[in-house]
């Protein structure tokens, strides 16, 4: 199954490295960990399951970006890198923020200013420079009044056109797909903007994965 990738500077896929047997086993374990939510959140588990080809591609891109590191799974140690769901603090590093709540006004809003070139100094979790990359597939919003209707995004200097969004109402959250992978490589910057016809408080989170070295993968703050 082909993976749709929206990336910054080229019309060819970014470099990728194949996984060895141990790393492939870690990838299979990662699938299980991402899909572990069951019961009334079964649709969330199935959403991750549908993205397995994109997840595999992202891990290969990350292995090429971290050439001296092995893929350790969702939790890494030593010189490994980890792949896990995106943390809020990765998206809001300048004033370290650990939740997704934002107040949106009617019209266009910058939902996320992405800066993977940020170095948080004493705040280890925000030492993103050379240590993090992102794959974003869409938005998840658990707010019951979510009314996001359109989005656009920038990766480095490339701004991609406005995309009308179709909300998929799942058990307890709304899911907005971007129709492919937004790939933010090492030290890249950009933004994601959304349009809403009325003001509301959103808890929309970037639905996707971050690949991170152990410089930040084991740090809460």
Which residues is 167 bridged to in the sheet?
176
Which residues is 181 bridged to in the sheet?
5
Among candidate residues 29, 138, 21, the one with its CA nearest the CA of residue 76 = 29
The CA angle 86-192-120, to the nearest 5 degrees, is 55
Res 191 pLDDT > 50: yes
Distance CA 149, CA 151 (A): 7
pLDDT tens figures, 125-146: 999 999 999 999 999 998 777 8
Distance CA 119, CA 176 (A): 30
Count the neighbouring beta carbons within 10 Å of the beta carbon of residue 107. Answer: 11
Among candidate residues 70, 48, 45, 49, the one with its CA nearest the CA of residue 59 = 70
Q: Please give the share of the chain, as a percent, with pLDDT higher than 90.
A: 69
* Beta-strand runs (E) in the chain: 5-6, 81-85, 102-104, 107-115, 132-141, 150-155, 158-164, 167-169, 174-184, 189-196, 200-202, 205-213
Residue with the two structure tokens 């990336």: 7
How far out from the chain centre does Cα 129 lie?
A: 16
Q: Taking residues 170-190, report their average pLDDT.
A: 88
pLDDT tens figures, 97-120: 999 999 999 999 999 999 999 998
């Amino acid at each position: 199954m082909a993976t749709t990738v929206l990336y910054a500077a080229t019309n060819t896929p970014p470099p990728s490295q194949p996984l060895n047997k141990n790393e492939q086993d870690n990838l299979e374990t990662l699938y299980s960990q991402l899909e572990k939510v069951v019961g009334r959140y079964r649709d969330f588990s199935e959403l991750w399951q549908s993205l397995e080809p994109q997840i595999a591609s992202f891990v290969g891109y990350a292995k090429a970006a971290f050439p001296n590191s092995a893929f350790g799974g969702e939790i890494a140690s030593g010189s490994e890198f980890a792949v896990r769901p995106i943390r809020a603090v990765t998206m809001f590093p300048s004033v370290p923020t650990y939740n997704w709540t934002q107040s949106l006004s009617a019209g266009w809003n910058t939902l996320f200013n992405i800066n993977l070139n940020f170095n948080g100094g004493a705040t280890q979790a925000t030492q993103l420079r050379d240590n993090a990359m992102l794959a974003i597939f869409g938005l998840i919003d658990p707010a019951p009044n979510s009314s996001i209707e359109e989005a656009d995004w920038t990766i480095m200097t490339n701004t991609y056109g406005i995309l009308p969004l179709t909300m998929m109402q799942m058990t307890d959250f709304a899911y907005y797909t971007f129709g492919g992978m937004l790939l933010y490589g090492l030290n890249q910057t950009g933004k994601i903007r959304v349009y809403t016809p009325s003001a509301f408080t959103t808890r929309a989170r970037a639905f996707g994965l971050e690949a991170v070295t152990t410089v930040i993968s084991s740090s809460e703050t």
